[in-house]
Amino acid sequence: MFHTPHGIVETPRFMPVGTLANVKGITPDHLVQAQAQMVLSNTYHLHLQPGEEIVQKAGGLHRFMAWDGPILTDSGGFQVFSLSEMRKIREEGVVFRSPRDGRLIDMTPERSIQIQNALGADVIMAFDECPPGDAGREAVAAATARTYRWLERCIVAHEREDQALFGIVQGGIFLDLRSQAVTDLTKLDLPGYAIGGVSVGESPENIRKVVQHTAPLLPKNKIRYLMGVGTYREMAQAIAAGIDVFDCVIPTRLGRHGAALVQGDRWNLKNAQFKEDFRPLDESCPCYTCQNFTRAYLHHLIKAKEMLAYMLLSLHNVTELIQFTVRIRESILGDRFVEEFGEWLEPEPTHARIDCKP
């Protein structure tokens, strides 16, 4: 369990992503029903809109978005990767060009922490440099070293004792760089550590190797967070390695494109096979969508391009991933993890997927 000022997070747990202080298409009440315990928002995007000053005047991020549970804010470091054509990295920090109005945004480790202190999340992330999955060793080594130097600056800048500051382990696919990063970061004795720089273009096999190598090196008495991962297989394998929490945009992104996650598979509800299928998406799922609507109805909403379709699918998908981690927690407590989830611990898929191409 992970204790925060806004409640307890029972681990392992999937965290829905609410980049702009909302999980797309899902109300806070429905998040509670889905058993979400912690959500993630993004420092960079909230700085652009509405601005941390507005959030602070509203009483902080929790009041602003009407979410009483724990919140984690990412530092903006991922945007160093995702907005690579709109930024310039230097030792002082990163200069971004705003995609909204073209203005230059100077994001330093200190500025990232100042913004996160103003937003008021329970957990804040150190500003880091996230290299792409295909980056060479020299570039990754430089980014990993800079991430550590930036972390030291984040610690100095951090001013709120009620916010837990997590460091981020970089190192790309190079396991020795990952090991060194863990050694360096854990000397700083932070309340939690994240594995970053995964799911940024590398192969599933390399993701698995990095996580299985790195997670066991992190302190077992601290929260271990795997950033940007959210499939059944990746989460099960990471939990086996010691990971506690995850985040990923997959469930809401798929929902917005008419796709459902069902027992680890991806179903394209646009397909004609669902036109006269009057069963729930998943008869074992407790979500509002599965308890009230059929596959045929969801297919109809998608064909009619009704907004409700994407809301219902997003809610189901988020619930699906949260419930997967809840069931794993129960199996671990009952010493049944390998017995019940062994198929997801295999490195290769053991059954076919229904294709979903957004």
- Name the helix (H) or strand (E) containing 4: strand 2-4
Alpha carbon 223 to its chain centroid, in Å, reads: 14
Contact 245, 334 (CB under 8 A): no
Cα 300 to Cα 308: distance, rounded to the nearest angstrom: 11
Q: Assess whether 184 carries a catalytic annotation.
A: no
Cα 222 to Cα 191: distance, rounded to the nearest angstrom: 6
CA atoms within 13 A on the CB side of 303: 13
Going by C-alpha positions, the residue among 189, 109, 113 that lies closest to residue 149 is: 109
Beta-ladder partners of 15: 247
Beta-ladder partners of 248: 16
The DSSP symbol for 17 reads B
For 311, residues 6+ apart whose C-beta sits below 8 A from its C-beta are 25, 26, 255
Sign of the C-alpha dihedral computed for residues 55, 56, 62 and 66 taken in this order: negative
Going by C-alpha positions, the residue among 221, 261, 266 that lies closest to residue 244 is: 221
Going by C-alpha positions, the residue among 220, 170, 241, 177 that lies closest to residue 200 is: 170
Q: Assess whether 74 carries a catalytic annotation.
A: yes
- Name the helix (H) or strand (E) containing 186: helix 175-186
3-state helix/strand/coil string of 72-120: EEECCCHHHHHCHHHEEECCCCEEEECCCCCCEEEECHHHHHHHHHHHC
Cα 337 to Cα 121: distance, rounded to the nearest angstrom: 32
- Choose the catalytic residue: 122, 128, 244, 247: 247
- Choose the catalytic residue: 74, 122, 128, 282: 74
Residues serving a catalytic function are 74, 247
